[in-house]
Amino acid sequence: MSRSIAIGATLTLVFLGLAALSFIYTPYDIQSFDIPNKLHRPDATNWLGTDHFGRDILSMIMLGARTSIAVAVLAVGIGICIGVPLGLLAAARRGSLLDELIMRGNDLVFAFPSLVIAILITAIFGPSAINAIIAIGIFNIPVFARLSRGAALPIWERDFILAARVAGKSSLRISIEHILPNITNLMIVQGTIQFSLGILAEAALSYIGLGAQPPTASWGRMLADAQTLTSIAPHTALIPGMAIVLMVLGLNLLGDGLRDWLDPRIRIART
């Protein structure tokens, strides 16, 4: 296992751990504001200081991690659950009109800048975490559809697929039993990368007020709230900013490392 996997996995696990811990424990209750205690620097009572409403920033980061991860996981989930079957279907019916329809449809979604679509969707249906998930999920679909089709096409040419066909298996069964297991590694790697993009997209949407709504904690909104406070209380902006950076960095390192580790060609070359 490479160093990037180790660092990436550690960072990711730390944030996953914080998010999991927040279900049973946070140092302070962020729902009740303590305004006389606002904008305290990090100290022994509030390890990461307090924000403009006197809320404990560590607790906010923990709950914000939960929001970010939940949004990103569900958004990637939408992408995989819709994108992969579409890609497999296109690969199974390669060259047909259906294949064309699916892939050109994907191109259409791909052609729009993803964040612009997300802003459009949340602007039409109203800002909420659910709509952010749907918005981010929609632009994950073509990523997985293209990737799975591209990965599946060469496998369809392989001899064992021919054998399966001769044995009378339908395209559907071949896709599920033979193609899918062979592209899973690739999907995991891509999933990790999309996961980090999802975290970024959630933070961006929350930053402009279109993501999770208060009182739900969100890193992007913490940043937006701290925007005018940077000169008097820099920690209010630095801490959520660092959280986003570290989480995304961790996921990218993990994804990179996993690709090297799981890719059979590189693995063979290494041995």
Helix axes 235-262, 3-24, angle to 10 degrees: 130
Site string for another protein, 226-265 (x = CB under 8 A): -xxx-xx---------------------------------
Contact 255, 193 (CB under 8 A): yes
Burial of 61 (0-12, 13-18, 19+ CB in 10 A): buried
Site for another protein (CB under 8 A): which residue of 127, 142, 191, 198? 127
Q: Minimum distance from CB of 23 to another protein (Å)?
A: 20
Stretch that binds another protein, among 108-116, 136-144, 225-233, 251-259 (CB under 8 A): 225-233
Q: Which is nearer to another protein, 36 or 168 (CB)?
A: 36
Binding of residue 37 to another protein (CB under 8 A)? no
Minimum CB distance to another protein smaller for 129 or for 189: 129
Stretch that binds another protein, among 46-54, 95-103, 162-170, 255-263 (CB under 8 A): 46-54
Considering beta carbons, is residue 49 or 127 the nearer one to another protein? Answer: 127
Q: Between residue 197 and residue 216, which ones bind another protein under the rule CB under 8 A? A: 209, 213-215
Q: Quick one: which segment of 10-18, 28-36, 111-119, 239-247 binds another protein (CB under 8 A)?
A: 28-36
Count CB-CB contacts under 10 A for residue 72. Answer: 26
Helix 219-226 with 180-207: angle, nearest 10 deg? 30
DSSP states of 196-232: HHHHHHHHHHHHTT-SSPTTS--HHHHHHHHGGGTTT
Using rule CB under 8 A, residue 64 touches another protein: no
Q: Which tokens sit at 126?
A: 């109203």
Residues belonging to the chain? 271
Neighbour-count burial of 168, counting CB atoms closer than 10 A to its CB (0-12 exposed, 13-18 middle, 19+ buried): exposed
**Closest approach of another protein to the CB of residue 237, in Å:** 11
50 in Cβ contact with 40 (< 8 Å): yes
Residues in contact with another protein by CB under 8 A are: 31-33, 35-36, 38, 52-54, 126-127, 209, 213-215, 227-229, 231-232
